[in-house]
Chains A and B, each alone.
Chain A
Amino acid sequence: AQTVTQSQPEMSVQEAETVTLSCTYDTSENNYYLFWYKQPPSRQMILVIRQEAYKQQNATENRFSVNFQKAAKSFSLKISDSQLGDTAMYFCAFIIQGAQKLVFGQGTRLTINP
Chain B
Amino acid sequence: AAGVIQSPRHLIKEKRETATLKCYPIPRHDTVYWYQQGPGQDPQFLISFYEKMQSDKGSIPDRFSAQQFSDYHSELNMSSLELGDSALYFCASSLVPSSGELFFGEGSRLTVL
Contacts and interface: CB of A to CB of B under 8 A. Distances in A.
B66 to A, nearest CB: 13
B107 A98 contact: no
A55 interface: no
A37 B93 CA distance: 15
Contacts, number: 62
B45 A101 contact: yes
Interface string A83-94: 000000001000
Interface residues of B, number: 27
B104 interface: yes
Interface string A3-28: 00000000000000000000000000
Contact of A104 (B42, B48, B105): B42
Nearest to A51: B100
